[in-house]
Structure 1
Amino acid sequence: MVANPELAIVIPAFEEERRLGASLDRICGYLESRGVAAEVIVVDDGSLDSTAQVAASFAARGVRLVRLPENHGKGAAVRAGLLETSARRVLISDADLSTPIEELASLEVAAVDAELAIGSRSVATSRVEVPQAILRELAGKAFNRLVRLGGVRGLADTQCGFKLLDGEVARELARDLVVDRFAWDVELIWLARRRGYRVAEVGVVWRNDPASKVHFLRDSARMAIDLIRLRWRHRHEPPARRRR
């Protein structure tokens, strides 16, 4: 365990035994080359495969394993990881590194003036090297319309799984997050803005992984339900306030 980490990287993982090892090797190599005091936290979301064993094999390189006894969803895994670290800054990254870890540098620049910097596949500076299938692309656009109707406006992409947060803000928000599955990103951003924190959208490199576990019809419906749930759960949240 790294004492007083400057940076933590939280990776939610569910049955990622095939992809996780290569991703952790790349992440650890990147952090070692920078010489930053950092820890990597893999949250195993109730996997039945060897995900936990793969993560544990990187313990000597600063990787910590947090195990959830049952599968609760990506949002629950992210929340557990955010509450596990005391780092000054926290990066959330997908296990498949669809956004390369090297893109962290772009988010760090934006985070100078924002408490939350989110990677985006949909702004002028984004570079999508391997696009999604057309059905998933259409589902994403439809979901973004729902997101705007739900109160998160002015952002082109809320769902890219590459986000950098101020550590104190991350822990504050995590204590109040309730969405366990796919709309956790929206809840995080909505709550951050509601509390007056600044959100910066940053174009990143992104490559679709054909082995993605997202399912078009099932997950679109779940996302819509999550949007309704988060607004109901936070209906008593005070109006947004400006912070200095």
Structure 2
Amino acid sequence: MDPQLSIVVPAYNEAARIGPTLDRLLAYARSLPGGAEILVVDDGSTDGTGRLALEPAYREIRWLRLAENQGKGAALRAGVLASTGAEVLLCDADLSTPIEEYERLRPHLSDAGLVLGSRGVADSKITRRQPAYRELMGRLFNVVVRVVAVGGIRDTQCGFKLLRGDLARSLFADMQIDRFAFDVELVWLARRRGAVVREVGVAWHDSPASSVHALRDSARMLADVLKIRWRHRGEPNGPLRTP
């Protein structure tokens, strides 16, 4: 029988910190009455992240490995397309949003296909903020996204997202952005399909060990947003529903 939930985690050079994340995910998955599978996608790590797959404690986890680093979007695409759950939850390897926040998102799947965990709505709770320069760059990026691509979204980049499983696999099969701007493409395509996209506040804390390089990755993300807009030029924005 297919599980109720698939939890997909991209991992790139996470050997030093992913162990506690996996322990928390396994404990949580075992507590769910509908069952859950955990898929970890090793995105071409060079630090031995993949060796955790050999540890007895993590044998329940489904491990996928990309031969070389392709980007967060590519890693999630591989994991989502291999998933079997009725629901698909995307979360980061550092659990910057606690796994328990799934319970805040799940009720919204009753009428939404994609539920975005958000740091930008009133009921979000940020317990450790990013450095000021990263917050500023993030806000500027969100302004560009709202103007150029997906208006009405306060935070596309929080890594905690819940989707209906069938919609998730259909969307990721069509996605082309491999790196950090994949979130924007995901929202864009969901709205093109007529899916309701809902933004829900979650708890979040900054991880100082983040692999995001603010200047380099921001430039790449902006370029990818422009690619998305060009690829879908002439198409109007679709419906959006927020709480």
TM-score between the two structures when normalised by the length of structure 1: 0.93
Shift of residue 151, structure 1, vs aligned partner? 2.6
In the other structure, the counterpart of 1:151 is 149
Q: 1:232 aligns with which of 223, 230, 233?
A: 230
In the other structure, the counterpart of 2:103 is 105
- For 1:241 and 1:103, the matched residues in 2 are separated by 25
* 1:133 paired to 2:116: no
* 1:19 paired to 2:48: no
Which secondary structure does the structure 2 equivalent of 1:123 belong to? coil
* 1:82 paired to 2:109: no
8 Å contact from structure 2 (residues 10, 43) kept in 1:
yes
Q: What are the within-5 Å matches in structure 2 for residues 1-244 of structure 1?
A: 3-57=1-55, 58-60=57-59, 62-235=60-233, 240=238
1:178 alignment partner AA = Q
Identity %: 53
Shift of residue 96, structure 1, vs aligned partner? 0.3
Shift of residue 239, structure 1, vs aligned partner? 7.5
- For 2:161 and 2:226, the matched residues in 1 are separated by 23
8 Å contact from structure 2 (residues 145, 225) kept in 1:
yes
| Structure 2 segments unaligned to the other structure (5+ residues) | none
2:172 alignment partner AA = A
RMSD after superposition: 1.7
Cα deviations by residue, 1:137-156 (Å, 9 ceiling, x for unpaired)? 00000000110112311111
Shift of residue 189, structure 1, vs aligned partner? 0.5
8 Å contact from structure 1 (residues 44, 51) kept in 2:
yes
1:241–1:98 CA distance, 2 compared to 1 (3 A):
closer
- For 2:38 and 2:53, the matched residues in 1 are separated by 10
- For 1:73 and 1:216, the matched residues in 2 are separated by 15
Shift of residue 233, structure 1, vs aligned partner? 3.0
8 Å contact from structure 2 (residues 115, 199) kept in 1:
yes
- For 2:120 and 2:223, the matched residues in 1 are separated by 24
Which secondary structure does the structure 1 equivalent of 2:82 belong to? coil
- For 1:205 and 1:28, the matched residues in 2 are separated by 20
Shift of residue 241, structure 1, vs aligned partner? 8.2
8 Å contact from structure 1 (residues 21, 55) kept in 2:
no
Between 165-174 and 146-155, the greater mean CA deviation after superposition: 146-155
8 Å contact from structure 2 (residues 149, 184) kept in 1:
no
- For 1:29 and 1:63, the matched residues in 2 are separated by 12
TM-score between the two structures when normalised by the length of structure 2: 0.93
The count of residues paired between Structure 1 and Structure 2 equals: 239
Shift of residue 38, structure 1, vs aligned partner? 1.0
